Structures are given as structure tokens and as C-alpha cells.
Amino acid sequence: MPWTRDDAKLDRVRALMTEAELDALVVRAPDNVLYLANFWGMKGYDACVFPREGEPVLITIEASEEDAARTAWTEDVRLIRGYDPEDPRPPLSRTLDTAVAAARDYERVGLELSLGTQAADRMVGEPTTFTAAWFDAFAEAADATPLLARARSLKTEQELERLRLANELAAAAMDHVRELLRPGMREAQVAALWQGFVHGEGTGYHDQVELALPFSLVWAGRGIKTFTATGDLPVVDGEPVLFEIWVCADGYWADHTKNLVVGELKPEYAELETALLDVYDGALDTIRPGAPMAELDRQVREQLHEAGYPGQPTHPICHGVGARAHEPPYPHQAGGGQFEEGMVLAVEPGVYWPGGGGLRVEDNFLVTRRGVEKLSSFPDGVVRCQT
């Protein structure tokens, strides 16, 4: 759906550009194009030249002309041809030529030089990444990645509204699965229930979401591990089913881990749930404006060690969420920085047993002056199914 131009966000970016003495940003990562121009491209053939003063330029493929006219915040949209019989090069070559021309009059340009990851486009989740030619064309460019990370780490009211929609969808899909989960269902079948709801009900959701895309990892009982794919193990009475889930609603994300169980939770899992939720609640209590980020990671890992789970978890404890599912800030013992009001964070402690099994809890939280506000209505811990 069209969103009104988020001047609070764009003004903050321009203020940071003034500090950095940058005349324009030239971005190509789909999430940064979305952030600056409110255009979520189909195949990554897009770019945005965002000046400190004046009208931004959106570059996209001719086939996306209608999408750009409906959603983009700039009227200066420059179209490239996907296929040009007089220019047999691939489309990104024409994107680059157009970006160079649009940025020609700016003396000091910022580029995504140190970007480590990027969100995918709208089509198949297959990022179209940068080539050497892109960087070579702006040989004197400064690195704008830290500036963009700093700007994006604090959310505006409009961004919060968009993040709340993604969180609502993730929770509604969990409520849907909670009513249908039965012993014997395979992990992949359960994932399909959740994903089907997000895509089917989320696209057009309350006339506020144009496209909702679901992503999930679903593990049952001893299949609960980390960094492994959804499989075909069956749902078993008394053993949790873990949902590592993401919703992308028009380019803004929710990132959760939720747990369901059919029947009464087995004692070993109930004991782990109690211990993990104590650590989780303690972690949330430490997140306050001005509190050091490194302390969160240190505290969670120390408490899990004391609870009998040394070295857990192997994945990060906390990260930002916004126009990417995983974005700065990344609170970690090796890092610095402080929590700030307006950040949105995924907090996700977990424990995984040798041989399989375990639990993780995760939700998205807005940092407020008084602490954190949970953005999803679905409970944490292990939720009993309505059978």
C-alpha cells in the first residue's frame, strides 16, 4: 500500500549526511532503497540516489513503472530496459550507468562499501548482489554503511506502525496453527500451515499490507536444534514444536521464536522452560536507554551457564529488526554502544541439548524510556494447543 513520505526518517538521514559532509547517497541494497524511497523492487535491478538537498532519484526497471508510481516517495523515477536490442548488456549495467549520471553533479558521495548482508527483493528471495563495476564506478566514494546503520537503528512512528503489522501477522498465524496442530503432523506440514496463513491472510491485511511473505524453520521435539532446516519429524504429545518464524510485510519484518505443545509438557521441557524464561525476563529488564549493549549478551550467557547450560546458545542473543530481519544494532560482548529509545530489538536466548531437543524464546521489543514494549501479542514460553 502507499505510505505517506516519512519526513522524520528522511530528515534524520539528511542530518547525518550533513555531519558526514556527504552530498548524496547512492544505494543499491533493496532494504536501503526501500528505506530511502519506499520502493521494494522485484529483482534487485534498482538503485536510489538520495541527495542531502533536492529530489531523490529512483532507478528501476520499466516493468516496475506502475509499482514505482504507486509507492515511491520521489517523482524522479528513471526507468531502464530489462532487454535493450541496442545494448545487450545485463540490466544492472544500465542501472549503474543511470546511477552514475544521476550522481554526477555531487562532489562527495556515500556508497554501501562495508555492507555485509542485505534484504532480498520481492520476487524469490534471491539477492542480486554488487559487482566490482559498481564500486569501481564511484572510486572516490565514502562508506555510507555506518551512517545508514545509525539512521536505521532508531525507528520513526511510521516504521513502528509497519513493524507492528508484521508482528500482528506473525501472532495471528501462530493462533491459527495453535487450533490445528495435532500429533503425527510432520514438521514441514506444520510450517506450511503457518506460512499459508501469513501469505494468504497477510496479503491485503486490513488494507494495509500489499504483500506478506512468510519464512520459517519448524522443529518438533528432538528435532529442535539451531542452524538446521525444517524436516519431517512428527509432532509428539508432550514435546514442544518450535517455530523460528519471520514475516515480511511490504519490506518490514518481524522475527520471532514461538513454541507450541499438544498435551502436557514433559517434565524435562517444563524445567527448561522455567529456567529459560527467567533468563529472558532478566535480559529484558536490562534493556533501558543508556544501558550498555555488551552487558545484555554477557548477562544472558552467564545466567545460562549458572543454570547448567555452559556455552549456550551458539547464535547471537539480540539484534535489530526493521527493513531487514537482522540489522544493527548487534549487542555483543565484543562490541560497544548503548541502548537508545526508539530501537526495535529481537531478543532470543535459547538452549539446545546434545542429540536434539531444547527451547528458544524470542519476540520483538521497542525500547522506550521506561524499558521495553513487546510488539507481538502471542505469548512467550511453551503455549498449549487448543485441542
pLDDT for the residue numbered 2: 82
Which secondary-structure segment (H or E) carries 260?
A: strand 252-261
60: CB partners within 8 A, 6+ apart: 39, 41, 45, 46, 67, 68, 77, 78, 79, 80
Compute the distance between CA of residue 175 and CA of residue 202 in angstroms, rounded to an integer: 14
Task: Give burial (CB, 10 Å; 0-12/13-18/19+) of 322.
Answer: buried
What does the pLDDT look like over 1-54, one tens digit per residue?
689 999 999 999 999 999 999 999 999 999 999 999 999 999 999 999 999 999
- Phi then psi dihedrals of residue 307, to 5 deg: -80, 0
Rounded to 5°, the CA angle 90-111-140 comes to: 100
Non-local CB neighbours of 281 within 8 Å, separated by 6+ positions: none
3-state helix, strand, coil in the chain (%, to 5): 35, 20, 40
* Sequential pLDDT tens for the chain (387 residues): 689 999 999 999 999 999 999 999 999 999 999 999 999 999 999 999 999 999 999 999 999 999 999 999 999 999 999 999 999 999 999 999 999 999 999 999 999 999 988 998 999 888 888 999 999 999 999 999 999 999 999 999 999 999 999 999 999 999 999 999 999 999 999 999 999 999 999 999 999 999 999 999 999 999 999 999 999 999 999 999 999 999 999 999 999 999 999 999 999 999 999 999 999 999 999 999 999 999 999 999 999 999 999 999 999 999 999 999 999 999 999 999 999 999 999 999 999 999 999 999 999 999 999 999 999 999 999 999 977
Q: What is the structure's pLDDT at 165?
A: 98
Single out the residue of 56, 24, 63, 45 nearest to residue 134, CA to CA.
45
Place of cell 547448567: 308
Q: Cell numbers at residue 161, please?
A: 506502525
The burial class, CB within 10 Å (0-12 / 13-18 / 19+), for 83 is exposed
End-to-end CA distance of the chain: 37
pLDDT tens string 340-371: 999 999 999 999 999 999 999 999 999 999 99
Please give the angle made by the CA atoms of 248, 253 and 255, to the nearest 5 degrees.
110
Go through the domains of the chain in sequence order and give each one's CATH number: 7-152 (3.40.350.10), 157-384 (3.90.230.10)
Peptide bond into 313 cis (omega under 30): yes
